[in-house]
Amino acid sequence: MKIGIIGAGKAGTTIGKVISDSSDCLVGFYSRSFQSACDSANFTNSNSYEKIEELILASDTLFVTVPDGEIAKVWDYIAGLSLDLNGTIFCHFSGSLSSDVFSCRGFNDDFHNKESEVRFASFHPIFAFSNKYESFKTFQNVYFTAEGDSFAVKKLREFFENLGHRVSVISSENKAKYHAACVFASNLLVGLISSSVGILKDCGFDEETAYSAFETLTMNNARSVFEKGAEGALTGPVERNDITTVEKHLKVLDGNDKEIYRVLTKEVIQIAKNKHSDRDYSSMMELIGF
Protein backbone atom coordinates (compact mmCIF):
# COMPACT_ATOMS: atom_id res chain seq x y z
CA MET A 1 0.00 0.00 0.00
CA LYS A 2 1.28 3.47 -0.92
CA ILE A 3 -0.49 6.09 1.18
CA GLY A 4 -0.59 9.77 0.30
CA ILE A 5 -2.10 12.30 2.68
CA ILE A 6 -3.98 15.35 1.45
CA GLY A 7 -4.01 17.86 4.30
CA ALA A 8 -1.06 18.47 6.61
CA GLY A 9 -2.88 19.55 9.73
CA LYS A 10 -3.11 17.90 13.14
CA ALA A 11 -5.06 14.84 12.02
CA GLY A 12 -3.10 14.16 8.84
CA THR A 13 0.28 14.68 10.46
CA THR A 14 -0.59 12.49 13.45
CA ILE A 15 -1.89 9.65 11.30
CA GLY A 16 1.10 10.02 9.00
CA LYS A 17 3.51 9.81 11.93
CA VAL A 18 1.79 6.69 13.28
CA ILE A 19 2.05 5.08 9.83
CA SER A 20 5.67 6.06 9.23
CA ASP A 21 6.75 4.78 12.66
CA SER A 22 5.28 1.35 11.93
CA SER A 23 5.60 0.79 8.19
CA ASP A 24 7.06 2.05 4.93
CA CYS A 25 3.62 2.77 3.42
CA LEU A 26 3.64 6.55 3.73
CA VAL A 27 4.41 8.33 0.44
CA GLY A 28 4.04 11.88 1.66
CA PHE A 29 1.88 15.00 1.91
CA TYR A 30 0.13 17.57 -0.19
CA SER A 31 -1.33 20.68 1.47
CA ARG A 32 -2.70 24.01 0.32
CA SER A 33 0.37 25.42 2.06
CA PHE A 34 3.47 23.78 0.60
CA GLN A 35 5.40 24.75 3.73
CA SER A 36 2.93 22.76 5.86
CA ALA A 37 3.38 19.78 3.57
CA CYS A 38 7.16 20.11 3.92
CA ASP A 39 6.94 20.36 7.71
CA SER A 40 4.77 17.24 7.99
CA ALA A 41 6.93 15.37 5.49
CA ASN A 42 10.09 16.17 7.46
CA PHE A 43 8.39 15.10 10.68
CA THR A 44 7.35 11.75 9.19
CA ASN A 45 10.44 11.16 7.04
CA SER A 46 8.36 11.20 3.86
CA ASN A 47 7.96 13.43 0.80
CA SER A 48 6.18 16.71 0.14
CA TYR A 49 4.37 17.55 -3.08
CA GLU A 50 3.64 20.95 -4.57
CA LYS A 51 0.96 19.54 -6.87
CA ILE A 52 -1.84 17.24 -5.75
CA GLU A 53 -1.59 15.38 -9.06
CA GLU A 54 1.95 14.29 -8.22
CA LEU A 55 0.90 12.84 -4.88
CA ILE A 56 -2.06 11.00 -6.44
CA LEU A 57 0.14 9.44 -9.12
CA ALA A 58 2.63 8.29 -6.48
CA SER A 59 -0.08 6.69 -4.30
CA ASP A 60 -2.64 3.92 -4.49
CA THR A 61 -4.46 5.10 -1.35
CA LEU A 62 -5.28 8.72 -0.55
CA PHE A 63 -6.15 9.86 2.97
CA VAL A 64 -8.10 13.13 2.80
CA THR A 65 -7.55 14.83 6.17
CA VAL A 66 -8.80 18.34 5.38
CA PRO A 67 -11.60 20.05 7.38
CA ASP A 68 -15.09 18.62 6.81
CA GLY A 69 -16.23 21.53 4.69
CA GLU A 70 -13.29 21.09 2.30
CA ILE A 71 -13.60 17.34 1.60
CA ALA A 72 -16.18 17.66 -1.18
CA LYS A 73 -14.22 20.53 -2.75
CA VAL A 74 -11.02 18.49 -2.77
CA TRP A 75 -12.83 15.54 -4.34
CA ASP A 76 -14.53 17.70 -6.94
CA TYR A 77 -11.12 19.04 -7.96
CA ILE A 78 -9.60 15.55 -8.14
CA ALA A 79 -12.56 14.16 -10.07
CA GLY A 80 -12.08 16.92 -12.65
CA LEU A 81 -8.47 16.00 -13.31
CA SER A 82 -7.50 13.89 -16.29
CA LEU A 83 -6.02 11.13 -14.14
CA ASP A 84 -6.44 7.37 -14.23
CA LEU A 85 -7.78 6.61 -10.75
CA ASN A 86 -8.41 2.91 -11.32
CA GLY A 87 -7.40 0.88 -8.30
CA THR A 88 -7.20 3.95 -6.03
CA ILE A 89 -8.82 4.12 -2.59
CA PHE A 90 -9.96 7.48 -1.24
CA CYS A 91 -10.65 7.72 2.48
CA HIS A 92 -11.54 10.73 4.61
CA PHE A 93 -11.46 10.92 8.41
CA SER A 94 -14.50 13.05 9.25
CA GLY A 95 -16.68 11.92 12.12
CA SER A 96 -19.92 13.39 10.82
CA LEU A 97 -19.66 12.83 7.06
CA SER A 98 -20.00 9.49 5.32
CA SER A 99 -18.06 8.39 2.26
CA ASP A 100 -21.05 9.57 0.21
CA VAL A 101 -19.34 12.97 0.22
CA PHE A 102 -17.25 11.54 -2.60
CA SER A 103 -19.79 12.42 -5.23
CA CYS A 104 -19.26 9.45 -7.56
CA ARG A 105 -20.60 7.05 -4.95
CA GLY A 106 -23.80 5.30 -5.97
CA PHE A 107 -22.57 3.11 -8.81
CA ASN A 108 -24.20 -0.29 -9.21
CA ASP A 109 -22.90 -3.46 -7.58
CA ASP A 110 -20.98 -4.48 -10.68
CA PHE A 111 -18.89 -1.32 -10.33
CA HIS A 112 -18.07 -2.03 -6.70
CA ASN A 113 -17.17 -5.63 -7.44
CA LYS A 114 -14.40 -4.60 -9.82
CA GLU A 115 -11.22 -4.43 -7.82
CA SER A 116 -9.58 -2.25 -10.50
CA GLU A 117 -11.97 0.66 -9.93
CA VAL A 118 -11.79 3.61 -7.57
CA ARG A 119 -13.09 2.91 -4.05
CA PHE A 120 -14.27 5.09 -1.18
CA ALA A 121 -14.41 4.88 2.61
CA SER A 122 -14.42 6.97 5.76
CA PHE A 123 -12.47 6.01 8.88
CA HIS A 124 -12.98 8.12 11.97
CA PRO A 125 -10.57 7.87 14.94
CA ILE A 126 -12.35 8.40 18.25
CA PHE A 127 -9.67 10.79 19.40
CA ALA A 128 -9.12 14.51 19.95
CA PHE A 129 -6.16 15.81 17.95
CA SER A 130 -4.67 18.51 20.14
CA ASN A 131 -1.20 19.06 18.71
CA LYS A 132 0.30 18.44 15.27
CA TYR A 133 3.58 17.13 16.63
CA GLU A 134 2.55 15.59 19.95
CA SER A 135 -0.79 13.80 19.45
CA PHE A 136 0.84 10.68 17.97
CA LYS A 137 2.30 9.90 21.40
CA THR A 138 -1.17 9.08 22.78
CA PHE A 139 -2.65 7.60 19.60
CA GLN A 140 -1.92 3.99 20.51
CA ASN A 141 -4.99 1.73 20.62
CA VAL A 142 -7.30 4.46 19.31
CA TYR A 143 -10.64 3.01 18.19
CA PHE A 144 -11.75 3.64 14.59
CA THR A 145 -15.26 3.61 13.14
CA ALA A 146 -15.46 2.82 9.43
CA GLU A 147 -17.99 2.88 6.62
CA GLY A 148 -17.82 2.77 2.84
CA ASP A 149 -17.74 0.20 0.10
CA SER A 150 -16.80 -3.27 1.26
CA PHE A 151 -13.52 -3.57 -0.62
CA ALA A 152 -12.08 -0.29 0.70
CA VAL A 153 -13.32 -0.91 4.25
CA LYS A 154 -11.87 -4.43 4.33
CA LYS A 155 -8.47 -3.36 3.08
CA LEU A 156 -8.15 -0.32 5.35
CA ARG A 157 -9.56 -2.19 8.32
CA GLU A 158 -6.83 -4.80 7.98
CA PHE A 159 -4.26 -2.03 7.66
CA PHE A 160 -5.29 -0.19 10.83
CA GLU A 161 -5.78 -3.39 12.81
CA ASN A 162 -2.23 -4.38 11.89
CA LEU A 163 -1.14 -1.08 13.44
CA GLY A 164 -2.85 -2.14 16.69
CA HIS A 165 -6.17 -0.32 16.36
CA ARG A 166 -9.67 -1.71 16.73
CA VAL A 167 -12.21 -0.96 14.01
CA SER A 168 -16.02 -1.13 14.04
CA VAL A 169 -18.02 -0.85 10.82
CA ILE A 170 -21.28 1.13 10.68
CA SER A 171 -23.70 2.10 7.91
CA SER A 172 -23.50 5.51 6.26
CA GLU A 173 -27.02 6.23 7.56
CA ASN A 174 -25.77 6.03 11.16
CA LYS A 175 -22.74 8.27 10.69
CA ALA A 176 -24.36 11.46 12.03
CA LYS A 177 -25.86 9.66 15.05
CA TYR A 178 -22.49 8.02 15.74
CA HIS A 179 -20.78 11.40 15.65
CA ALA A 180 -23.38 12.84 18.03
CA ALA A 181 -22.46 10.07 20.47
CA CYS A 182 -18.81 11.10 20.23
CA VAL A 183 -19.78 14.70 20.94
CA PHE A 184 -21.68 13.57 24.06
CA ALA A 185 -18.56 11.83 25.33
CA SER A 186 -16.15 14.66 24.54
CA ASN A 187 -17.33 18.17 23.65
CA LEU A 188 -20.48 18.11 25.79
CA LEU A 189 -18.44 16.70 28.67
CA VAL A 190 -16.23 19.78 28.38
CA GLY A 191 -19.35 21.92 28.56
CA LEU A 192 -20.61 20.03 31.60
CA ILE A 193 -17.34 20.45 33.47
CA SER A 194 -17.28 24.14 32.54
CA SER A 195 -20.77 24.51 34.03
CA SER A 196 -19.72 22.77 37.24
CA VAL A 197 -16.68 25.04 37.53
CA GLY A 198 -18.94 28.07 37.02
CA ILE A 199 -21.20 26.97 39.86
CA LEU A 200 -18.20 26.49 42.13
CA LYS A 201 -16.99 29.99 41.24
CA ASP A 202 -20.38 31.26 42.42
CA CYS A 203 -19.49 29.74 45.77
CA GLY A 204 -16.30 31.83 45.98
CA PHE A 205 -13.72 29.59 44.30
CA ASP A 206 -11.34 31.05 41.75
CA GLU A 207 -11.24 29.22 38.41
CA GLU A 208 -7.86 27.54 38.88
CA THR A 209 -8.85 26.19 42.29
CA ALA A 210 -12.22 25.00 40.95
CA TYR A 211 -10.61 22.95 38.18
CA SER A 212 -8.05 21.57 40.62
CA ALA A 213 -10.77 20.65 43.11
CA PHE A 214 -12.76 18.68 40.52
CA GLU A 215 -9.86 16.91 38.81
CA THR A 216 -9.63 13.89 41.11
CA LEU A 217 -13.41 13.52 41.36
CA THR A 218 -13.93 13.70 37.60
CA MET A 219 -10.98 11.51 36.61
CA ASN A 220 -11.84 8.80 39.15
CA ASN A 221 -15.48 8.77 38.09
CA ALA A 222 -14.53 8.53 34.42
CA ARG A 223 -12.15 5.67 35.15
CA SER A 224 -14.83 3.90 37.16
CA VAL A 225 -17.38 4.21 34.34
CA PHE A 226 -15.05 2.59 31.83
CA GLU A 227 -14.01 -0.12 34.26
CA LYS A 228 -17.44 -0.97 35.71
CA GLY A 229 -20.00 0.47 33.30
CA ALA A 230 -22.53 3.19 34.13
CA GLU A 231 -24.54 1.13 36.63
CA GLY A 232 -21.47 -0.07 38.50
CA ALA A 233 -19.98 3.41 38.72
CA LEU A 234 -23.13 5.31 39.72
CA THR A 235 -23.18 6.91 43.18
CA GLY A 236 -24.74 10.05 44.63
CA PRO A 237 -28.13 11.36 45.77
CA VAL A 238 -30.13 10.13 42.76
CA GLU A 239 -28.82 6.59 43.10
CA ARG A 240 -29.71 6.69 46.82
CA ASN A 241 -33.15 8.06 45.93
CA ASP A 242 -32.37 11.05 48.17
CA ILE A 243 -35.24 13.33 47.19
CA THR A 244 -34.47 15.92 49.89
CA THR A 245 -30.96 16.60 48.54
CA VAL A 246 -32.07 16.79 44.91
CA GLU A 247 -34.83 19.21 45.95
CA LYS A 248 -32.23 21.46 47.59
CA HIS A 249 -30.13 21.40 44.40
CA LEU A 250 -33.07 22.47 42.26
CA LYS A 251 -33.83 25.39 44.60
CA VAL A 252 -30.35 26.90 44.32
CA LEU A 253 -29.87 26.38 40.56
CA ASP A 254 -31.38 28.49 37.82
CA GLY A 255 -31.18 29.08 34.08
CA ASN A 256 -29.09 26.69 31.98
CA ASP A 257 -27.54 25.06 35.05
CA LYS A 258 -30.96 24.00 36.33
CA GLU A 259 -32.02 22.68 32.91
CA ILE A 260 -28.79 20.69 32.53
CA TYR A 261 -29.28 19.26 36.00
CA ARG A 262 -32.87 18.21 35.24
CA VAL A 263 -32.10 16.56 31.89
CA LEU A 264 -29.05 14.66 33.12
CA THR A 265 -30.81 13.65 36.32
CA LYS A 266 -33.51 12.03 34.19
CA GLU A 267 -30.81 9.93 32.50
CA VAL A 268 -29.21 9.09 35.87
CA ILE A 269 -32.60 7.97 37.23
CA GLN A 270 -32.87 5.47 34.37
CA ILE A 271 -29.44 4.09 35.25
CA ALA A 272 -30.40 3.94 38.94
CA LYS A 273 -33.66 2.11 38.11
CA ASN A 274 -31.70 -0.52 36.19
CA LYS A 275 -29.28 -0.87 39.08
CA HIS A 276 -31.95 -1.00 41.80
CA SER A 277 -35.07 -2.54 40.31
CA ASP A 278 -36.58 -2.79 43.81
CA ARG A 279 -36.61 0.98 44.35
CA ASP A 280 -39.40 3.34 43.33
CA TYR A 281 -37.98 6.43 41.63
CA SER A 282 -41.35 7.85 40.55
CA SER A 283 -41.25 10.67 43.12
CA MET A 284 -37.77 11.63 41.95
CA MET A 285 -38.98 11.78 38.34
CA GLU A 286 -41.91 13.96 39.40
CA LEU A 287 -39.59 16.26 41.35
CA ILE A 288 -37.40 17.03 38.33
CA GLY A 289 -40.45 17.61 36.13
CA PHE A 290 -40.60 14.52 33.92
pLDDT in tens, 149-189: 999 999 999 999 999 999 999 999 999 999 999 999 999 99
Give the number of other Cβ atoms within 10 Å of residue 5's Cβ. Answer: 33
Q: What is the pTM of this model?
A: 0.86
Task: Look up residue 38 and give its DSSP letter.
Answer: H
DSSP SS3 for 239: coil
- Dist CA 290 CA 106 (whole Å): 44
Question: What are the angstrom distances between the C-alpha of 141 and each of 8, 26, 44, 155, 161?
Answer: 22, 20, 20, 19, 9
Half-sphere exposure of 258 (CA within 13 A, CB side): 12
Write out the H or E segment, with its range, that includes residue 164.
none
Cα–Cα distances in angstroms (integers) from residue 29 to residues 7, 83, 95, 155, in the given order: 7, 18, 21, 21
Position 104 confidence tier, pLDDT thresholds 50, 70, 90: low
The band of 290, judged by pLDDT with boundaries at 50, 70 and 90, is: confident
- Share the mean pLDDT of the chain: 93
Domains of the chain: 3-172 (3.40.50.720), 185-288 (1.10.1040)
Indicate whether 278 pLDDT > 60.
Answer: yes
In order of 13, 137, 161, the CA distances from 129 in angstroms are: 10, 11, 20
Under a CB-based contact definition with an 8 Å cutoff, are residues 147 and 153 in contact? yes
**Is 121:94 a contact under the CB 8 Å cutoff?**
no
**Alpha-carbon separation of residue 171 from 45, 102, 145, 152, 176 (angstroms):** 35, 16, 10, 14, 10
Distance CA 260, CA 154 (A): 41
